Amino acid sequence: MTQNTETSFGYFDDENKEFVITSPHTPLPWINYLGNDGFYGLISNTAGGYCFYKDAKFRRLTRYRYNNVPMDSGGRYFYINDNGVVWNPAGRPCNTELDFYQCRHGLGYSRFIGRKNELEAELTVTIPLEMNAEVYKLKLTNNSEQTKQIGLFSFIEWCLWNAQTDGENFQRNLSTGEVEVDGNFIFHKTEYRERRNHYAFFACNKDIDGFDTDRETFVGMYNGFNNPQVVSANKAANSVAHGWSPIASHYFNLQLAAGQSEEIVFMLGYCELSRENKWQALNQINQTPARELFAHVDTAKKFDHQCKRLRSYWQECLDVCQVNTPDDRFNRSINIWNQYQNMVTFNMSRSASYYESGIGRGMGFRDSHQDTIGFTHIAPAAVRQRLLDLSATQKQDGSAYHQYQPLTKKGNADIGGNFNDDPMWMILGTANYIKETGDWSILDEKVPFDDNSQAVSHFEHLRAAFNHTANKLGPHGLPLIGRADWNDCLNLNCYSNDPNESFQTTEHRKDSVAESLMIAGQFVLYGQEYVRLCQHIGMFEEANAAKTHIEKMITAVEQYGWDGQWFLRAYDADGKAIGSHKNAEGKIFIESQGFCVMAGIGLENGKAQSALDAVEEHLACDFGIVLQQPAFSRYDIALGEISSYPPGYKENAGIFCHNNPWICIGEAMLGRADKALSYYQRINPIYLQDLQQTHKTEPYVYSQMVAGKDAAIPGEAKNSWLTGTAAWSYYAAVQYILGIRPDYQGLSITPCIPKSWPSFTVQRKFRGAHYQISVHNNSSDKQGLYIDGQAIAGNTIDSAKYTENHVVEFYIG
C-alpha cells in the first residue's frame, strides 16, 4: 500500500499502521483508544482524555472536562521548564509554540514527539495487554552543545470514581479527596476507608525531587492548566491533598549533558483488593498489588517489551482478513483502520468517546449486537460472551433493556426498554457468530432472563425475541414501533411539548397503532435466519410456523408499505403514513428502503430497484445518503425528536452514516457494483483527505453523522469513533462488495465489484483453515469456484472438507 500525500494535518503511515498528525491545531481533537482487556483510555492528539476500569461512569480514574473552553481540557500532561521556557511534548496545554510537533496514533498506543530549543521529548502512551494500567515512557534528549538544567513535572487529576457525582455532588466530594505518598508512588484513596476496595496510583521508576497532590497548590486558584504556578516556579511544593481536588505530580530536577538522553517510565494504575487485604498498616493502604503491577514495566526495556507484545497482538488480529484490491484506500481502510475501529466500538459500544461522556449510556443492546458483525472474525470468544451477556438483559416477554452497565451487566432501568427493534438484533448477532465459527453450542448455553429467573437455553431467548416481534403488530399487520425503532428520534408515541421530558423514555400514547416498516424489513431479514437456525437443530415445526409469520409480513409490506416508488417509513399514532409522497416533508426515508431491500422484498417484482433508484434521486449527495427528504422545517409533535433538529443535522436529513451501508448492500444484491462502491466511498473518511477542514473529525475512523445537503455546512462530521457505521461498513465492503461471506456450511464467494477492477485477493483465516483467495473479473475462459485447481460446484468453500491451507480461485464471467 502507498502512503497518502501529506495534508495540512497529517498522513497515513501504512507500514507502521499509524496516522501521523503534524499539527496540534486539528479541526477537532483527534483521539485514539488504548486498552483491550477491561482497562481503557481515550487520548487526543494533544494528550487530553481520561482512563477508566471497565465502566466510564463508576470506575473513572482521571477527570476530563467535556465541551469546555478551551477544548479538550484535562489529560496526561508532562511539563518541561527549560530555563524558563515551559512546554509540553504533546503541544498542550501550554501555548508555547514548538519547533517540531508530531503525534503518531497507532493500534493501542500513541506517541508524541516535541522539540523546543534543541531539547527533544518523546512520549509513548499505551495500555499493555492484561494490565489495569496506562503506562508512559518519556525520553528526553539534549540536542544542544551545552548542558541543560531542566525541571520536569508529571501531572494527572484524579476523578472521584463516579464520574456523574464527581461533577455534581460538590458538598461531599470537595471534602473527601485523600492521597498517600510513598517515595515515587502517589496513591489515590478517596473513599477507600469506607465502601471502596479499590485505589489508583501514579508511579515512576526514578527517584523524585518533589511532588504535589493538591490541585490548588499545583495550578493556582485562578490559573489554568496552561500556566501552573508550581511549574512556573520550577519547584514542587510537596503538597498533600486533604479534601478538595486531589492530583498527582512528580517533580524531577534533571541535568542533561550535550547529546545525553534520559528515559523515565510512569504508570497510572488501578488495584482492587479483598476487604481482608485492604490495609498494610493503620490507614496505610496495601501497596503490594501496585508495586507488583509496576514491576512489569519499571524499566525502559520492559516497557518496550510490552509494546512489542501489543504490536504482535494486533498483527495477529488483523491477519485474520487481509485484502489487496486495485484501490489503496479501500485496502488501508479494510486492513487496518476499519478493523481497529470495530475493536474499539465493540469494547465501548456507545459509552465513552469525545462525544459520549461515559455517564449516561452503557452498552447498547441493539448497538452491541450490530457491532459484532464487524468483529467476530477477530475475537470470537469475546463475541460469544457478549452475546450471552446481552441475552441475560432480555425480559421474559422477549423485549430487552435498551442498555446495560458494563460493570454490573444489569439492565439500565433509567432507560428501560420498549424499543421494538431491539429483540431481532439478537438473531443477527447469534447467526453471524455461528456462521463465522461453526459453533452451534451457543444455542444450548443456559442464560437467565433479566429477573434472574431459571435459566433457559440461548435459543429460547431467540425464540422469545422472534415471537415478541411476530405478536406485536398494529392495524396493518406491521410491527409496532414502541418508543422508537432503530431511529431513536422517530418518537411516534411521545407527543411531548415539555422540554424537561425525554423523547425516548416518555410515552403519552398507547403503543397499539404506530408501526414501523424498518422493523418489518428487519423481521423478514432476520426471521429468515431464525428459520435456518431452527432447521439446522431439527425444529422443523418451529421453522414452518416462523415461515408463516414471515410470509404474512412480506404480504403486509407489499400491501400497506409500498408508496408507489419506495417503501413507506412508518404509520404514526393516528394511523397516518410517514415517508409518503403525500407528506409535505419527510416524503422518503432511508431506513425502510435499506432493510426491505436487504430482506429481499421487491427483488423479483422491481420494487427493490425502484426503491433504490428513489434513494439515489432524492437522498444521495456528495457526502453520503441523507436520512430523509425533504427536511423538517418545524417541530412536529407527532414525530418527536427527529423534527427538533435544524435541517441537515442528525436525524433531520443529516447523513446518519450508520444506515448508508444498508444501501450499499442493497445495491450489491441488485448487482450494481459501481453504485455500491460509490456509496461506500462517500462516507469513508480515508477517501476524504482533501475535505478535512470541512469534515473535521478524525480522518482514520467513521463518524456517526455528517451534515446533509440542507445544513449550513454540508459535509461537516460529528460524533466519531463509536458508531455502528464501522461494523456495517466493514460488513458491506467485505461480505457484499468483495463477497467473501461466512455462512453456516463454510465461506461463500459472491463478489460484486466494478468492471474497472481486474482482480483482487484476500487472505482469510476461517475455522482453523487459511484460504488464499483470488477473484478474477471479466473472465472469458473460466467461471465459478476452483479450490486447489479443481472446479467446485456452487460458490461455497465447505469448511468441513477444506480444513487446512488452500488456494482458492473465483472467476467472474
Give 624's strand partners.
Answer: 621
**488 an active-site residue?**
yes
User: Which of these is catalytic: 367, 371, 485, 488?
Assistant: 488
**What 3 state SS string does 59-88 have?**
CEEECCECCCCCCCECECEEEEEECCEEEC
d(CA 794, CA 786): 10
Dump the DSSP string for 322-361.
Answer: EEE-S-HHHHHIIIIIHHHHHHHHHHHTTSBSSSSBSSS-
Peptide bond into 380 cis (omega under 30): no
For residues 210 and 120, the answer to whether their CB atoms sit within 8 Å is no
Q: How far apart are the first and last CA of the chain?
A: 28
313's CB contacts (< 8 A; 6+ apart) are 36, 108, 129
For residues 349 and 370, the answer to whether their CB atoms sit within 8 Å is no
For residues 429 and 407, the answer to whether their CB atoms sit within 8 Å is no
Which amino acid is residue 781, in one-letter code? D
User: In terms of C-beta density within 10 A (0-12 exposed, 13-18 middle, 19 or more buried), how is residue 605 classed?
Assistant: exposed
Distance of CA 251 to CAs 78, 150, 256, 508, Å? Answer: 10, 10, 16, 59
Phi and psi, residue 538, nearest 5°: 80, 15
Dump the DSSP string for 597-650.
Answer: HHTTTTTTTSHHHHHHHHHHHHTEETTEE-SEESPP-S--TTTGGGGGSPTTBT
Query: How many residues in the chain?
Result: 813
Ramachandran assignment for 378, one of left (phi > 0), alpha (psi -120 to 50 degrees), beta (any other): alpha
d(CA 704, CA 482): 23
Give the 3-state secondary structure of residue 153. strand
Phi and psi, residue 661, nearest 5°: -60, -25
d(CA 297, CA 584): 64
Give pairs for 609-616: CB < 8 Å, separation 24+: 609/670, 610/565, 610/566, 611/565, 611/566, 611/567, 611/666, 612/663, 612/666, 612/667, 612/670, 612/672, 612/675, 613/565, 614/565, 614/566, 614/588, 615/566, 615/588, 615/590, 615/663, 616/675
- The residue behind cell 481502510 is 333
Which amino acid is residue 455, in one-letter code? A
**Parallel, antiparallel or unpaired: strands 769-776 and 805-811:** parallel
- With b for 16 or more beta-carbon neighbours within 10 A and e for fewer, the 276-312 pattern comes to eebeeeeeebbbebbbebbebbbebebbeebbeebbe
d(CA 283, CA 277): 12
DSSP state for residue 495 in the 8-state scheme: -
Spell out the alpha helix ranges (H) of 417-574.
422-437, 458-470, 517-536, 540-560
Distance of CA 526 to CAs 424, 582, 726, Å? Answer: 7, 30, 20
Distance of CA 620 to CAs 370, 610, 613, 678, 726, Å? Answer: 24, 15, 10, 11, 20
d(CA 201, CA 186): 5
d(CA 722, CA 650): 15
Q: What are the catalytic residues?
A: 488
